[in-house]
Amino acid sequence: MKEIARQCGVGFSTVQRALSDDPRVNAATRAHILDVSRNLGYNPAHHEAARRMALQRQGRRLLNHVVGLLMPSSFEEVSYFARLFQGLINVLAPRGYAVVTFSYSTSWHPVDSPLPSVFYRGEIDGLAAVGVPDDLLPLLTQLRKDPGFGDQRPIVSMINALPGVSTVTTDDLSGAYQATRHLLSLGHRHLLQLYQADFDKMSERLQGVRLALQEAGLAPERYLHLFDLNASPATQAWVDPAQLAHISRASTPPRSGNADAAHTLPAFFQANPNVTAILALNDARANQAWAILHQAGWRVPDDISLIGFDDVETSVTLDGQLGLTTVRLPLVEIGRSAATRLLTAIESPEYPVELVALPTELVIRQTTAPR
């Protein structure tokens, strides 16, 4: 920088300001300084450690233009997570931000195996995260306590709300309400909700279903039936989208590990013939339910109507002839919105924590029909 100042015939502080886009430097001087710096091959990234030390001595904040991302394991293999990632990159890349990704498993714990050191070296400007609170909160607590990340760096969660963290999520109540209204319009009355008590959006979904039933004059305690996925070891495996990525594209269920599920779900419909429609937690679980019922002799939508959630795994037959009616989540837009809010918080530390719920949309295909 001293050499640039000498060749340009200006002071050292003027070079500093010009290279920092300081408006106090007039346009012609700044253009001349940038031209000389390029000719000299000046690149502050080559001396990042020294630059960081100098700024810290001055009490100034350094932006590295690097964002951290925490995602569940195998996120690159699952359409749901890949679309969130696509939305993030659509915003971050044009702004010159790199992304450092760490994918964690549900069995991983930060006490036993901390995050990679890059998260603790002061090189991450902010963090985006996807996951359930039980998995993410230990990670975020650890990061907040570490001086290399601390309390000042912003965090944005996608899908699931976390305490003290900005969140971009979806209006699942409205989505479940739309799905239920659609089934009621087709003459269905007794509905089966695939249920999971520890699913973060479960309460919101049930509110939407009950609201639609009540508006139709139907008592939810009579017309809404729950099928607990946690009640059976076989159906517990339905909850992981990574495990179901291949199942959802198969015309028949896997032969192993689902014997219990193959009996419990058909047994429910045998015992409750008045139930004629299923509301699933996501597309993959809808497709798994369809595969098991198909093997047991039920036809979709002739015997049972079926609605998924997410709009990422929409073909329920191997040849793609049967498309899944589902509630579409704006996953790419969630990623974009989260990235935009994260960058705003990075550049404006006073930016408030907020919760944003984006709208959902019912997409009607071939798995719903009149009762």
Q: Quick check: is 59 in a domain?
A: no
Predicted local confidence at residue 252, as pLDDT: 39
Tell me if residue 216 falls in helix, strand or coil.
coil
Q: CATH number, domain at 352?
A: 3.40.50.2300
Q: CATH number, domain at 37?
A: 1.10.260.40
Tell me if residue 348 falls in helix, strand or coil.
coil
Predicted local confidence at residue 10, as pLDDT: 95
Mark whether 200 and 119 lie in a shared domain: no
Predicted local confidence at residue 113, as pLDDT: 60
Mark whether 180 and 319 lie in a shared domain: yes
Nearest to 231 by CA among 254, 256, 265: 265
Highest mean pLDDT among 256-270, 332-346, 349-363: 332-346
pLDDT at 330 > cutoff 90:
yes
Q: What is the pLDDT of residues 265-286, one digit of tens each?
A: 888 999 999 999 999 999 989 9
Predicted local confidence at residue 121, as pLDDT: 84
Domain ranges, residue 103 = 66-169+332-359
Higher pLDDT, 308 or 58: 308
Contacts of 153 (CB under 8 A, 6+ apart): 124, 125, 126, 127, 346
Mark whether 224 and 92 lie in a shared domain: no
What is the number of domains present in the chain?
3
Q: Quick check: is 47 in a domain?
A: no
Q: What is the pLDDT of residues 166-224, one digit of tens each?
A: 999 999 999 999 999 999 999 999 999 999 988 889 999 999 999 999 999 999 999 99
Average pLDDT along the chain: 85
Nearest to 104 by CA among 115, 96, 94: 115
Predicted local confidence at residue 320, as pLDDT: 66
| Cα–Cα distance measured from residue 190 to residue 308, given in angstroms and rounded to the nearest whole number | 17
Contacts of 211 (CB under 8 A, 6+ apart): 173, 177
| Cα–Cα distance measured from residue 276 to residue 77, given in angstroms and rounded to the nearest whole number | 33
Contact status, residue 220 vs residue 210, Cβ threshold 8 Å: yes
Which H or E run includes 82?
helix 79-92
Mark whether 125 and 37 lie in a shared domain: no
Q: Say which amino acid occupies 357.
A: A
Peptide bond into 349 cis (omega under 30): no
Contact status, residue 55 vs residue 62, Cβ threshold 8 Å: yes
Q: How confident is the model at residue 41 (pLDDT cuts 50, 70, 90)?
A: confident
How many of the other CB atoms lie within 10 Å of CB of 357? 15
Higher pLDDT, 105 or 101: 101
Q: Quick check: is 116 in a domain?
A: yes
Which of 46-55, 211-220, 341-350 has the least mean pLDDT? 46-55
| Cα–Cα distance measured from residue 195 to residue 177, given in angstroms and rounded to the nearest whole number | 16
pLDDT at 108 > cutoff 60:
no
Which H or E run includes 276?
strand 275-279
Helices 79-92 and 331-347: angle between axes, nearest 10 degrees: 40
Predicted local confidence at residue 242, as pLDDT: 41
Predicted local confidence at residue 56, as pLDDT: 63
Tell me if residue 262 falls in helix, strand or coil.
helix
pLDDT at 291 > cutoff 50:
yes
Predicted local confidence at residue 61, as pLDDT: 64
Query: Beta strand 126-130 with 166-170: parallel, antiparallel or unpaired?
Result: unpaired
Contact status, residue 89 vs residue 100, Cβ threshold 8 Å: no
Q: What is the pLDDT of residues 114-173, one digit of tens each?
A: 688 888 888 899 999 998 888 888 888 888 888 888 888 999 999 999 988 999 999 999
Mark whether 137 and 177 lie in a shared domain: no
Mark whether 288 and 261 lie in a shared domain: yes
Prediction pTM value = 0.79
Percent of the chain with pLDDT over 70: 83
Q: Which residue has the tokens 């679309």?
A: 83
Contact status, residue 314 vs residue 293, Cβ threshold 8 Å: no
Q: Quick check: is 53 in a domain?
A: no
Mark whether 6 and 73 lie in a shared domain: no
pLDDT at 251 > cutoff 60:
no
Mark whether 155 and 235 lie in a shared domain: no
